[in-house]
Amino acid sequence: MRASINTYLSLSASVIASIIVARITKGKKLEMEIILNASLAGGVVMGANADIIAKPYGAMLAGFIAGTVSSLGYAYIGPFLSRKINLHDTCGVHSLHGMPGVIGALVSAIVASRGVENFGSNYDK
């Protein structure tokens, strides 16, 4: 149950973050490509730690950070790589799966290192 709730919260937060970043980077126009792709970053970041984050705000924070980083990757890093080294990321592998995956690994390492402090009586469940 914890994994499902954390994934939904993380996805919701990444959608909000992607809308905010798309609005900031493109002005009054919303870039739907950024929003559609970066909104899935919350699910990617929860891949490694959906069941180990004990507090809802942790899942929302991880999703918001992943959505922000993924949106910035679509807005700036993708076009930069395309211009400089002629790398076309047509499926969004780098911005959607790469960067949020690394963030998820870092978050899971931090949460797992907290151990009993983070989980309390739920540590053995």
Residues 44-75: pLDDT tens digits?
888 888 777 777 888 899 899 999 998 888 88
Mean per-residue pLDDT of the chain:
82
- Looking at residue 16, its pLDDT comes to 92
Task: Tell me the two tokens of residue 120.
Answer: 């309390």
What is the radius of gyration, based on Cα positions, of the chain?
A: 15
Which residue, among 61, 68, 54, has the nearest Cα to 9 in the 3D structure?
61
65 versus 30: the higher-pLDDT residue is 65
pTM score: 0.83
Question: CA-to-CA distance for 29 and 49, rounded, in angstroms?
Answer: 34
